[in-house]
Structure 1
Amino acid sequence: TPSGILHVVDFQTEQIVSTIQSKDYWDDKRHWEIKNNIDKFDFTTADGTEQAATLLQQNLVLKEVRSGVIVPYVITEAEKVSNDRSVITYASGEWILLAKAGVINPQRIEGKTVNEFIDIALTGTKWKRGRTEYSGFHTMTINEPIDPLKLLKDIASLFDLEIVYRAEVVGNQFVGRYVDMVKKRGREIGKEVTLGKDLMGIKRIENSQNICTALIGFVKGEGDKIITVESINNGLPYIVDNDAFQRWNEKGKHKFGFYTPETEEDITPDRLMTLMKTEMKKRVNTSVSYEVEAQSIGRVFGLAHELINEGDTIRIKDTGFTPKLYLEARAIAGDESFKDPMQDKYVFGDYREIVDPNEELRKLYNKVLASLGSKQEILDQLDKLVKETAEKANDAQKESESAKKIAEKVQENLKNNTVNIIEAKNPPIDNLIVGKTLWRDI
C-alpha cells in the first residue's frame, strides 16, 4: 500500500525541497489512462505553509501509486483559493516535457533492438532507459522531424510494448527518471464476471468508432504492388466476424475497418491473414467498455477496489448482447483518491491507439490508386475518410490540395471500379451487370 507521502522537487536543483504528509492534503484525485500514458494529479493543501511555498509551476511532485511505482508529476498550475486559504495544485506526468526536449531528424534506423531504439529517443534528455521486455530487431523509417515523446510512442507501437514512466528515490534523494517498456502493464487476475442486462452501478459504453464486422487488410509491396489476402480468401480482400456482424450490422450491411500492419516487411498473404485475424479480435475487444464505481467493484466484480492496478485483466461475459460477448477486459482508465477511496472509479475494456486520419489517408491512397475491386460500402468509407480529413486540413493548404486530389480519385473509382457483391443463399437474377456483379454464397 502506498504511504501517501508526496515529495516536492525543485526543478532547477533536482533536490527534494519539501515533504507533504497525507494528513496535510485533501481532495486528491489521480486520473490515469493506459492509452497515451495520460496521468494527472491534483490535490489541495493549506496556504501559508512551508510546503505550500514549494508548490510552484515547473517543480515536481513525486507520488507512489498502487503498483509501487513512483510517478513524477510536473506542476502545471497552482490555484490559490482566497475564501478558505488553500492552494489547489494541478500536475501532469513529467514525461509530457519530452515533447519539447529535442528533435530527432528524418532517418532510417535499421535492425535495432528495443534498447537501442530507446537510447536513440532519450539521447540528450533527463530520462534513462529502464526495464525492457523484448528480444528481436526492428527497422523504422522516420520521415519528418519528431520529438522524443513521439518517438517513444512509435517504438512501443513497433515492438508491441507498453510504456511505464517512473522515478527513483533513494532515502531522501531523487536519483533519476526511467522509461520501461513491457509487454503488458498490470496483472492477470484470473476472474470471470458475468454481466446481464441489469447493470446496477455499471455503465456500459459501446465504442462505435472501434466496431467493425469486416476487416480489409493490405500492405504496400514493391513499386505499385498491393499485397492483400484475396489470393487465399476466395477473391475477397476482407475477413468477416460473424458474431460481430449479428451484433452490430446495420440493415444487413457490414461495418468495414481498414488495417495495415505497421512493422512488417516482405509480408506474405498468409502472414497478413494471421495478423488480420489477431487485429479483428482486438477490434471486437475494444468495442465495449464498462465504467464501474468503487462500491460496485466489490459487489459485482468481487474485487477489492483498493487493489486494482493499471492494466489489470479480468474476463467479462456480457449476456446483454446476442450472441453473448466474451471480452478480456483490462483496467484501462481510473480515478483514484488516496484520502477517500470511495471516490474511486475505473473503466474496464481495451483500447486501440487512435490513428491520425491524415496518416491513415496516406496509407489508403495506394489502395485507391491500385483500383482493387471492392464493394460500394468500402469506397463509401474511403470517401468519408477523405472528407473528414479534408475538413481537418482546412488550415493547411497542402493537405487540402492532397485531400482534394484523393477525393477526386475516390470519386473516379466509385464511378469506374465499383463491384457490387451480393451476399445471399441463392444466386441473384435481377440487376446484374457484366463484370460488375459478384455473388457470395452465405
Structure 2
Amino acid sequence: MKILALNPQTDMLLGELNNRGNKIFTEDKHIKEIDGENSFQFITPIGIKEAKFFDQRSRILIPSETGSFEEFIVFHTNESMDDKKQVVSTAAYTEMDKEYVISPGTYVGTLAELANEALEFTTYDLGIYESIQRKTIVVTEHVGVYTYLSRVAKEFELEMPIRTETSGTRFTGRFVDFVKRIGPDLKRKLSMVGI
C-alpha cells in the first residue's frame, strides 16, 4: 500500500508514503459505501518532508481494487503533541457537483452523449461504458454534475466507479466509468483498516 501526494494545481505527483524507510504512515482507514461515504484517513510523522504535502485541500491517491487509483481531497488535518499528523480526506469526485450545474430540462441520448455533455465542464473524462442504448433523463431542478451522472448511471442500470490513472510518476487522467453491476445492488459498506 502506498499513499501518493498530488499537487492540486498542476496534477504533478509530489511524493509518496510507502512504509519504507522513514516514509511511514499508520492507522490508515478507507471507508467506502455504495451511494454513500467514501473517505480515507491516516497518520504520519510531522518530521518527514512528505508530511507537508498532506495539508488542507491537497490531493491524495490510494490504490483501488481495480489497479488504478482513487483520489481524495484533504479536508482536515490535526497535529498532535507527539509529532504526528492525522490526515482526513473525502472522495475528490464529489467536487464535480461544484464544477458545473446541470439546468432543469429533458436530456435524450446514449450514455456516452449524456455523460460527455456533463463531463465537458469538469476535469474528468468518460472512461469505460457498457451501454449503447438511448434514454431520456428528466432533470426537474438544478443539480451538480456528479449528482446528474449518478442519475444517468441509475437510469442505465450501471455502476459508476471513478478512477484516477498514473504512469510512473506522471498523472495521466481522471475517468468516470459506467459498468454493469456485479451481483445485486446491496448497500454494502467496505471498511479497510491498515491496508
In structure 2, the partner of 1:127 is: 124
Q: Does 1:79 align with 2:92?
A: no
Moved over 3 A (4+): 328-331
Q: Distance in 1 between the 2:19 and 2:88 partners?
A: 17
Q: Percent identity?
A: 22
1:7 is the counterpart of 2:4: yes
Match of 1:92?
90
- Partner of residue 46, structure 2: 47
Distance in 2 (CA, whole Å) between partners of 1:329 and 1:173 is 35
Q: CA deviation at 1:331?
A: 7.9
For residues 149 and 7 of structure 2, what CA distance do their matches in structure 1 show? Answer: 26
Partner of 2:26: 26
Distance 1:163 1:12 in 2: 26
Query: What is the CA–CA distance in structure 2 between the aligned matches of 1:103 and 1:130, rounded to whole Å?
Result: 21
Q: Tell me, in whole angstroms, the C-alpha distance in 2 between the residues paired with 1:22 and 1:66.
A: 19
Q: CA deviation at 1:80?
A: 0.7
Indicate yes or no: 2:117 matched with 1:114: no
Give the aligned partner of residue 335 of structure 1: 191
More strand by share: 2
SS of structure 2 residue aligned to 1:35: coil
Amino acid corresponding to residue 30 of structure 2 in structure 1: R
Deviation string, structure 1 residues 39-77 (Cα, Å, up to 9, x no partner): 110000000221001111111111002332310111111
Q: CA deviation at 1:333?
A: 1.0
Q: CA deviation at 1:175?
A: 1.2
User: Residue type matched to 2:103 in 1?
Assistant: N
Deviation at 1:337, TM superposition (A): 2.2
Larger Rg: 1
SS in 1 for 2:121: coil
Q: Which amino acid aligns with 1:109?
A: Y
Q: Higher helix proportion, which one?
A: 1
Distance verdict in 2 for CA 1:108–1:14, change over 3 Å: same
Query: What is the identity, as a one-letter code, of the residue corresponding to 2:31?
Result: H
Partner of 1:101: 99
TM-score normalized by the length of structure 1: 0.42
Q: Give TM-score, length-normalised by structure 2.
A: 0.92
CA separation in 1, counterparts of 2:185 and 2:170?
A: 38
Superposed counterparts of 1:382-393, under 5 Å: none
Question: Partner of 1:164 in structure 2?
Answer: 161
Q: Give the structure, 1 or 2, with the largest relative contact order (CA under 8 Å, sep 6 or more).
A: 2
In 1, are the aligned partners of 2:60 and 2:72 still within 8 Å (CA)? yes
Contact persistence 1:35–1:332 (CA under 8 A): no
Number of matched residues?
Answer: 192
SS in 2 for 1:89: strand
Distance in 2, Cα, partners of 1:137 & 1:332: 29
Deviation at 1:22, TM superposition (A): 2.8
Give the Cα–Cα distance (whole angstroms) in 2 for the partners of residues 68 and 330 of structure 1.
23
8 Å contact from structure 1 (residues 30, 335) kept in 2: yes
Q: Partners of 2:131 and 2:38 in 1: how far apart?
A: 25
Partner of 1:134, secondary structure, is: coil
Supply the distance in 2 between the matched residues of 1:329 and 1:99 (Cα, whole angstroms): 24
Gaps of 5+ in 1: 186-312, 314-327, 340-442
